[in-house]
């Protein structure tokens, strides 16, 4: 079994090798898989999104954002708070405009700092995941801490260009995913 650090390094390299056109095509396929997953879940109204850091070739979640906007869902994102220790929850206005912060993270120009207590679905950034929903993130622990503060019934969805690893050894603070959406299918854990 590979360590989290080995997986982190391997998947960063895999992503780095992707051409922008491939990232966009796979992101659109992930978007389509998500919309198919969402079809019989119209009761879900409050969605938390992460937005892609281009230099890391992350899944382009703006496709998902645009579709959720059209479905009149309430959207949220997060931003590292001033103490650089936790994520704050931001409610997005419809048709929010974005700019890149100093780390290259798309940040809404306008947003409202809110409590995360209404969130029903969280899209979780990751580098790798396994057949049990364990994931490897970027190693800062922001999302595990954030997920630990949400209601237990919040649906946690990873997005990945790749299939799952066989096994990832979780740590005590890790919060597993409920689903992971790839360009080919939706994995349920």
Could you give the percent of the chain with pLDDT greater than 70?
A: 98
Confidence of residue 143 (pLDDT cuts 50, 70, 90): confident
Average pLDDT over residues 54-66: 95
Q: Is residue 11 scored above 90 in pLDDT?
A: yes
Query: Which residues partner with 128 through β-bridges?
Result: 136
Is 153 annotated as a binding-site member? no
Q: Is 7 assigned a ligand-binding role in the annotation? A: yes
114 is an annotated ligand-binding site residue = no
List the domains of the chain with CATH numbers: 4-188 (3.40.50.10420)
Beta bridge partners of 80: 87
Tell me whether residue 141 is annotated as binding.
yes
Q: Of 66, 68, 119, which Cα lies nearest the Cα of 91? A: 119
β-pairing, 87-91 vs 74-80, is: antiparallel
105-135: buried (b, 16+ CB within 10 Å) or exposed (e) per residue? bbbbeebeeeebeebbbbbbbbbbbbeebbb
Residues 168 and 177 sit within 8 Å (Cβ to Cβ) = no
Higher confidence at residue 55 or residue 185? 185
83 is in an annotated binding site: no
Higher pLDDT, 104 or 136: 136
Tens of pLDDT along 152-188?
999 999 999 999 999 999 888 889 999 999 999 999 9
- 136 among annotated binding-site residues: yes
Element (H, E) at 7: helix 4-16
Residue 83: pLDDT over 70: no
For the segment 83-99, the average pLDDT, to the nearest whole number, is 85
């Amino acid at each position: 079994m590979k360590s989290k650090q080995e997986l982190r390094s391997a998947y960063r390299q895999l992503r780095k090798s992707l051409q922008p056109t491939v990232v966009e095509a796979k992101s659109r396929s992930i978007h389509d898989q998500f919309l198919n997953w969402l079809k019989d879940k119209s009761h879900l109204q409050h969605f938390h999104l992460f937005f892609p850091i281009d230099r890391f070739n992350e899944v382009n979640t703006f496709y998902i954002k645009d579709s959720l906007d059209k479905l009149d869902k309430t959207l949220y994102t997060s931003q590292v708070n001033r103490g650089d220790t936790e994520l704050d929850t931001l409610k997005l206005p419809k048709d929010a405009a974005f700019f890149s912060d100093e780390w290259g993270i798309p940040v809404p120009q306008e947003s409202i700092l809110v409590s995360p207590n209404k969130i029903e679905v969280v899209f979780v950034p990751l580098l790798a995941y396994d057949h049990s929903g364990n994931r490897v993130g970027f190693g800062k622990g922001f999302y595990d801490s954030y997920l630990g503060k949400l209601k237990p019934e919040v649906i946690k969805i990873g997005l990945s260009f790749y299939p799952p690893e066989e096994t990832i050894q979780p740590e005590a603070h890790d919060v597993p995913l409920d689903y992971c959406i790839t360009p080919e299918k939706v994995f349920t854990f």
